């Protein structure tokens, strides 16, 4: 269906959805609130409006009292926040503060970031009032013109500010420090006056402590009972009920009206870069993004029904976030007098607070996802607008429910337009998909099909009674496996001719290392990540584990080595360190992931044999795993080191790093340097130091070097995805479920998709020497004196890249 083919009713509904995405404006809020008060129907208002309304009155009162007390006279320095808040009506400040905080509460932004957003919204309100008061005619003229020409509120605000300066209307911009003081005071007052939010201290990593704003447990409990709270917390962007507007320029695509903030093709604040893209010929990029946007989806109703029941029952099932907070550790009896015991208890309690804050955020995400799914439950088809990041990776815009979401979100989606399964090949791909979702994916494709056949009775029993047969909940991806059970049951019931709409995913084998092995023609790394054919899939994580075990055996004199051998070192311990290697992984990160893997095994019932030596044991094994990775993926390490050396040369000149992917997308990596400033402020009666970061105009040389390896390899996987989509479209595929290194379509088209993605990968690396092209891009940018500092290209190996065409397990 094209836009011109959309029925008037669908077009009208789409316009309503886009208006809804804009959220509750101030006028709409106050109008609905006054109508509810007048008609004494406050209980008929949405729960979201009720929650916001419940915050306004007590918060406005608290703001008024705070300002009056702080500015009430007497000696001493006047309170900075009070001075600023004295210039705005308490009810308006309360509305803005409550709205911003409640909108941001599940985004996991830091306390200081939300505080600055709150104060920024207050300042914007006051700044625009100043413009209107000084020159009302000019304000109306410019604003009317901008309303017609500009959809983005951020751009509109910036242009109004420029017009203010141009016409001599002065405004004393608030500093970051001032914003922090104003915003933190409003958040603190919101917490004290309403009890809706709390400020939580969280430990993130070994040495980093941050503060976050979370809903209180009482409000969290209220959300469980009243999911229509999500009407207040509606995601800024929702799916569309007609195909999204095709992208034709970096500024035109996605949604159809100006009701909500308009999208840009690339998520970036660099308007000059976007203007350059307007004049860049990118046919493959536009065709790929628009093909994904034109994929029609519908809600998988049986899965939604089960998910709702499980969520409403409040049971911990299918890897959903547990419904109850973790209990705080018991306080030692001598906590008042025993300093060491008090420190240990506070550390343990802080960890529990951090985990509970994450749990609450995850619960809210599940609730929002269910709400959005219910909103589109009866639609025969809906769609997802897509955007790119600066590397060319393609992302679905709507949050929560989208094809790139967590397991339960993906399971709620199925293609609106299925195709009949007419042969054993298509049926085999459906079965392979089921085995993969269970976790039975380290065997041949034939063995995966056989596994489904052997477990067919259990699969059909699950489809018949999911809550009476909970076997599905033990799968690696339980909710998608449940969706497979329903689909397999339908196929068994109807046989060949069954119209299957379930997305069948083909996943890469450590895709980042696949790209590095291909660009350097590395036969060792290429074999380890399935670039060459074999009888069984190669498991690079197990390969690294085997090398690590061999090294442990040679170090048998070390008691830590013996303990690790007894404990067991397997692919679960090595997986994360290997996965993150091509994306800028470090030894420090490796240590963290080894620690996480050890803790997970202990939670599963294994005894920790290291006791007080756990820290030493983790560091010891991490060093071994890190060196073992280097033994298996030598060429990838060389490529990463080479890219970083080139990046340092470019960064030394203060230049961004710019290259064009084989699909024709221009990438610009330009991490700005930041200046950190510590601000002393009161937090709930206690003085603390919060760190503010301010972007500078110069390039951050360290971040440029650290980011180049992951960004370059991400740009390569994005390029292959774009080429694959275009080639698949030429071969009749119209339904795409793409997640960077996971390619999905209906079972009937999966064989074609598998062929297309292999062909796209081979052609890209046959037709392009991507590292040589990258080096030439850098040479073109640099002055002559710096060109001589560029390192020579790394040596290539003997891998025959065309063997990818014959590799069953390249993506499977």
What is the maximum alpha-carbon separation in the chain?
87
Active-site position among 575, 717, 723, 749: 575
Q: Is 119 helix (H, G, I), strand (E, B) or coil?
A: helix
Q: Are 486 and 433 in contact (CB under 8 A)?
A: no
Enumerate the β-bridge partners of residue 420: 499
Phi, psi dihedral angles at 27 (to 5 degrees): -65, -45
Q: How far apart are CA 708 and CA 520, in angstroms?
A: 17
Q: Provide the strand spans (E) within 654-758.
A: 657-660, 666-669, 672-683, 686-699, 737-738, 742-745
Classify 494 as helix, strand or coil.
Answer: helix
Check: CB of residue 428 under 8 Å from CB of residue 445. yes
701 part of the active site: no
Q: Within 10 A of 728 (CB to CB), how many other CB atoms are there?
A: 26
- As a whole number of angstroms, the distance between CA 581 and CA 709 comes to 9
* Residue 143 among the catalytic residues: no
Q: Compute φ and ψ for 655, nearest 5 degrees.
A: -105, 150
CA dihedral 363, 368, 371, 376 (to 10 degrees): -140
CA distances from 97 to 100, 114, 684 (A): 5, 10, 17
Pairing of strands 686-699, 672-683: antiparallel
Task: Decide if 639 contacts 519 (C-beta within 8 A).
Answer: yes
Beta bridge partners of 254: 245
Strands (E), 29-139: none
Q: Is residue 266 classed as helix, strand or coil in its secondary structure?
A: strand
Phi, psi (5° rounding) for residue 778?
-70, -40
Which residues, at least 6 apart from 477, have a Cβ–Cβ distance to it below 8 Å? 407, 411, 437
Cα–Cα dist 100/428, whole Å: 50
Rounded to whole angstroms, the Cα distance separating 80 from 78 reads: 6
Return the bridge partners of 693, or none. Answer: 676
Catalytic residue, candidates 507, 555, 623, 808? 507
Tokens of 193: 């006056």
Q: What do you get for the CA distance between the two ends of the chain, in Å?
A: 31
**Tokens (6 digits) for 779:** 């040479």
| Catalytic residue from among 407, 441, 539, 741 | 741
- Whether 476 sits among the annotated catalytic residues: the reply is no
Q: How far apart are CA 119 and CA 347, in angstroms?
A: 32
Instruction: Count other C-beta atoms under 10 Å from residue 615's C-beta.
Output: 12
> Which of the residues are catalytic?
507, 575, 741
């Amino acid at each position: 269906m094209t836009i011109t083919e959309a029925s008037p009713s669908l077009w009208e509904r789409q316009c309503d959805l886009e208006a809804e995405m804009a959220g509750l404006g101030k006028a709409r809020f106050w109008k609905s609130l006054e109508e509810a008060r007048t008609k004494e129907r406050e209980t008929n208002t949405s729960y979201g409006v009720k929650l916001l309304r419940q915050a306004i009155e007590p918060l406005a009162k608290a703001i008024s009292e705070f300002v009056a007390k702080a500015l009430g006279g007497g000696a001493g320095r006047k309170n900075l926040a009070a001075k600023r808040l004295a210039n705005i009506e308490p009810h308006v400040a309360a509305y803005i503060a409550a709205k911003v905080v409640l909108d941001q509460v599940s985004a996991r932004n830091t306390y200081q970031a939300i505080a600055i957003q709150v104060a920024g919204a207050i300042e914007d309100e006051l700044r625009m009032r100043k413009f209107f008061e000084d020159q009302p005619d000019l304000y109306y003229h410019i604003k009317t013109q901008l309303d017609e020409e500009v959809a983005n509120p951020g751009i509109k605000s910036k242009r109004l500010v420029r017009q203010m300066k141009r016409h001599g209307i002065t405004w004393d911009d608030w500093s970051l420090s001032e914003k922090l003081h104003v915003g933190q005071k409003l958040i603190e007052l919101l917490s004290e006056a309403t009890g809706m939010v709390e400020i939580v201290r969280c430990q993130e990593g070994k040495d980093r402590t941050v503060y976050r704003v979370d809903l209180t447990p009482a409000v969290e409990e209220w959300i469980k009972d009243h999911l229509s709270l999500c009407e207040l917390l509606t995601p800024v962007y929702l799916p569309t009920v007609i195909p999204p507007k095709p992208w034709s320029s970096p500024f035109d695509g996605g949604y159809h009206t100006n009701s909500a903030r308009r999208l840009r093709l690339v998520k970036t604040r660099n308007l000059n870069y976007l203007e350059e893209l307007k004049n860049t010929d990118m046919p493959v990029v536009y065709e790929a993004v628009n093909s994904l946007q034109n994929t029609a989806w519908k809600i998988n109703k049986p899965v939604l029904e089960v998910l709702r029941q499980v969520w409403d029952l409040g049971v911990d099932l299918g890897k959903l976030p547990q419904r109850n907070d973790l209990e705080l550790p018991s306080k030692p009896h001598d906590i008042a007098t025993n300093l060491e015991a008090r420190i240990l208890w506070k550390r343990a309690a802080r960890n529990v607070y951090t985990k509970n804050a994450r749990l609450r955020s995850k619960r809210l995400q599940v609730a929002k996802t269910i709400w959005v799914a219910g909103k589109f439950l009866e639609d025969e088809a809906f769609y997802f607008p897509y955007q790119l990041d600066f590397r060319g990776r393609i992302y679905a815009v709507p949050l929560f429910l989208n094809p790139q979401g967590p397991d339960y979100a993906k399971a709620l989606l199925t293609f609106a337009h299925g195709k009949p399964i007419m042969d054993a090949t298509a049926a085999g791909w459906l079965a392979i998909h089921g085995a993969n979702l269970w976790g039975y994916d380290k065997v041949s494709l034939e063995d995966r099909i056989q596994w489904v056949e052997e477990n067919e009775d259990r699969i059909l029993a699950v489809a018949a009674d999911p809550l009476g047969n909970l076997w599905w909940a033990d799968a690696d991806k339980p909710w998608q496996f449940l969706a497979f059970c329903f689909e397999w049951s339908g196929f068994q019931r109807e046989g060949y001719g069954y119209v299957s709409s379930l997305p069948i995913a083909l996943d890469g084998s450590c895709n980042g290392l696949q790209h590095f092995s291909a660009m350097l023609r590395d036969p060792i790394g290429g074999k380890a990540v399935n670039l060459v054919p074999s009888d069984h899939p190669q498991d690079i994580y197990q390969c690294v584990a085997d090398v690590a075990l061999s090294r442990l055996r040679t170090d048998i004199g070390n008691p830590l080595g013996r303990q690790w051998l007894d404990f067991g070192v397997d692919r679960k311990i090595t997986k994360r360190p290997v996965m993150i290697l091509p994306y800028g992984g470090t030894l420090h990160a490796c240590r963290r992931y080894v620690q996480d893997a050890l803790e997970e095994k202990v939670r599963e019932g294994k005894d920790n044999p290291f006791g007080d030596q756990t820290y030493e044991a983790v560091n010891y094994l991490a060093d071994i795993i890190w060196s073992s990775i280097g033994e298996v993926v030598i060429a990838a390490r060389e490529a990463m080191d080479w890219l970083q050396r080139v990046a340092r040369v470019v960064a030394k000149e203060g230049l961004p790093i710019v290259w064009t992917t084989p699909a024709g997308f221009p990438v610009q990596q330009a991490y700005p340097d930041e200046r950190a400033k510590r601000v002393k402020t009161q937090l709930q009666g206690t003085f603390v130091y919060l760190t503010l970061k301010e972007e500078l105009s110069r390039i951050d040389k360290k971040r440029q070097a650290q980011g180049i390896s992951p960004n370059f390899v991400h740009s390569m996987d994005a390029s292959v995805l774009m080429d694959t989509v275009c080639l698949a479209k030429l071969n009749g595929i119209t339904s795409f479920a793409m997640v960077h290194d996971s390619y999905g379509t209906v079972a009937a088209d999966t064989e074609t998709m598998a062929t297309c993605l292999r062909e796209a990968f081979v052609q890209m690396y046959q037709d392009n020497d991507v590292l040589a092209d990258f080096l030439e891009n850098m040479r073109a940018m640099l002055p002559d004196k710096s060109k001589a500092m560029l390192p020579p290209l790394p040596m290539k190996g003997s891998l025959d890249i065309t063997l990818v065409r014959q590799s069953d397990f390249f993506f499977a």
